[in-house]
Structure 1
Amino acid sequence: MKSFIASWIFIALCIGSVSQSVAQRSAAEFFEDGNAKARAGDFAGAMQSYSAVITMNPDHAPSYFNRGLAKANLKDHRGAILDYDRAIEINGKEALYYQSRGVSKSMQDDHRAAIQDYTRAIELNPDDAKSYYNRGVSRAKTENQRGALQDYNKAITVDPNDVPALYARGACKQKLEDYAGSLADFSRVIELSPKRAGAFAGRGYAEIKLNDYKGAIADYTKAIEISPEEAPSYSYRGFAKAKVDDYAGAVADYNRALQLNPDDFEAYYGRGFAKSKLNDQKSAIQDLTRAVEISNSYTADPKKIVYMGPINRDVLDRLRSAVQERIKIKELSSERAEAYFIRGMSKSKSGDSKGAILDMNSAIDLNPTYSEAYFSRGLVRSSTGDQMGAILDCSSAIKLRPDYSEAFYVRGLIKHSLGDVNGGCLDLSKAGELGYTPAYKVISDYCN
């Protein structure tokens, strides 16, 4: 997206004019001087020229806009937004003003506001592929992949050879698990721009998902030829080689991936697997141990958990404690898992968290599909500070019961409290959608 900012300058420089009276002729000269400096890459000098025009003519929207572009090229997006605001205030009918402000907002990670600007730009100029593409990028950033796909489709309809839109659509389709469609898009990108390593890597990943491992190896090899310092390309090629039983080749690729990125736990996992197949069990165990340990929040010491943001430990405990589990008596099975579970609930209510967890463990051992036991164990674990264990239990409950609204609610609270605000709010939204209405009060207080 950054590349668009520079390219727009040459379009923008032609917008607007300054009248040729004696007093304003100097303003016109400053304006053209700013344009010349911007074309030469002297954005600081261009800003000074546009500022001179604004001093002489405070209502000259193109000067505010061009000065905003100059600031954006100097990565001063906050300052750029202020200039775009003023340009729009003077002339609210120029699509490019909104599009450019959207870019600067997206650079500030304010994607929701950026989407509003791109939408207005599209209303004013529905045939501009860039506004659709940019809105698609921001929609993807807010996890609206289907909305992003619609925008990329429109951008490509307007311009069938729009390489960035084709590339972005290929990546978007992978997130939507349309790997055949993704492969087609990356293939088209390669036809139009055969030196893009990312396109070969993207097609290679689609081929892995489609079980075409030889094709994936060939594409990742090409990606590596173009860009030999990208660790993921070696890691994925290693994975594809392991799939075709080339374990020695896989180890070589994982070695290179780890040289480039020593914290790539997936590469340790893949290399450990390949070494195990090559009967190097001691080394395999070392690699797999690293795969388990590196950046694994699920093995974190509960005492070292950091509560981030407004849902701190006290708020989390209060909101979680208000959850009322709707448990009905069940017929006692021959394994008596239900008795362990209810006894665990009673121990929890009497303050014996350790005993409660032991009983719920037994209930789950006896009945691995006992969704209520997973969820209730998650509640107890959260109350003891084991938030990662609680997330795992809530996730297990949701896998067993996809409509388990309370599990989405509690998992959302915990995610939010640990700093995953977007993931937490999405879980809270799902809880509300499934009928757990207290979620909407939390959304109102903590997600907006």
Structure 2
Amino acid sequence: MDVFSSYNIIIEASVILILSFIFNGISKRTNIPSVLLLIFLGVILQFVLSYLSSDEVDFFPALEVLGIIGLIMIVLEAALELELKKDKLVPILKSLAVALVGLLGSAYLAAMILYQFVPEMSMQSAWLYATPLSILSSAIIIPSVSGLDPSKKEFHIYESTFSDIMGIMMFYFLVGELNPASQGGAGGFALNIILTIVISVMASYAIILIFQEIKSQAKLFLLIAVLLLLYAIGKQLHLSSLLIILIFGLIIANMKLFFRGKLANFLDYEKAHRIYHELHIVTLETAFVVRTFFFVIFGLTIAIASLFSFSVALVSLLIIISIYLVRFVLLRTFYGSDILPQLFIAPRGLITVLLFYAIPAEAQVTTFEPGILLFVIIGSSLVMTWAMIRDKKKTRTLLDLAEKEELSGTQEASGRSTHEIAESEDPFPEEDPENL
């Protein structure tokens, strides 16, 4: 049977998208992340594929391209939802601090664990391997926290987005340190960031002003193509390209803040806002499609046997414990005692996979088991699933109690009213003597 014939691929892709939509519905009802269901679907398809065909298929090129596009769409989707207001400043700064310190703390502990337990692992390589394992997955978090309290949902969107961007920047800084002459050290890295921000701001203003004048109905995918082009060119020039996407999303989502004074005269707010609204929808839909195929293909590439290794399980469990230990200290410091379910919402995912495959050949350690990567991704996702289900049950219990109390109060008030009426009315009124 030719599994990869044209019509079969169309059928397979369509069925996967339909199942992904169903998984989203299941996720909303149960709080099981849809991404986890997609990975398990990919694992099942791996066995189906091996049964139907003996040919080995290299899915990595498709996985890499989907991952890059998915990352861009997810960061853009998150940026389009971020409102920059004075009352948002404190939540943003808190989220930034938690994301940064959490990234560094988790990477440090994970690097120490890898250095101690993985043979031939140097400290420099340990940091490089630990960084992808320390980055939160906005691809999993953002779709999963929609049912949380608005302030908690906002925190997770900010934190996961910052973690993605800073984690990627940290990874490529460490890669550059393998050959310091090519990067120029910390000073060269800082200059790179400043240059990227300047280019991002200029490009964002230009894109908004140009695209508000385009009358074609097909301009949204043109806009996405321009953003993908800027990202890819930025990568070729060794810039922090994800900042371009983030800054563009922030500027178009907060146009009244960025277009002030004389700049406001150049902005047609109604047209630009229409672009923002339609771009938000297209980005959401595109992120859904790309995320779906990325995690299914990732499931297809998983080596299941590696999960049953004792050394893989030991190292992975130590890393997972270190993640929540760092997170507990940070959340208690910045948010006090109200840290549930935020404490357990720290899954690893898309960026972890992408950066793992981006580790340069000269830094790769043959004794490192890829199963550690898979174990941490699935383990952290399962912990998040448990926390979300527990939080949902708790919320339902509180709502049920509130409804019972309200109903009880209503019935009590109704009973009192009836009793008062009964007392005020004499059931045996005396006859008026005049009527006798």
Global fold match (TM > 0.5): no
Q: Larger helix proportion, structure 1 or 2?
A: 2
Q: Normalization by structure 2: what TM-score?
A: 0.23
> Which structure has the higher relative contact order (CA within 8 Å, separation 6+)?
2
Q: Normalization by structure 1: what TM-score?
A: 0.22
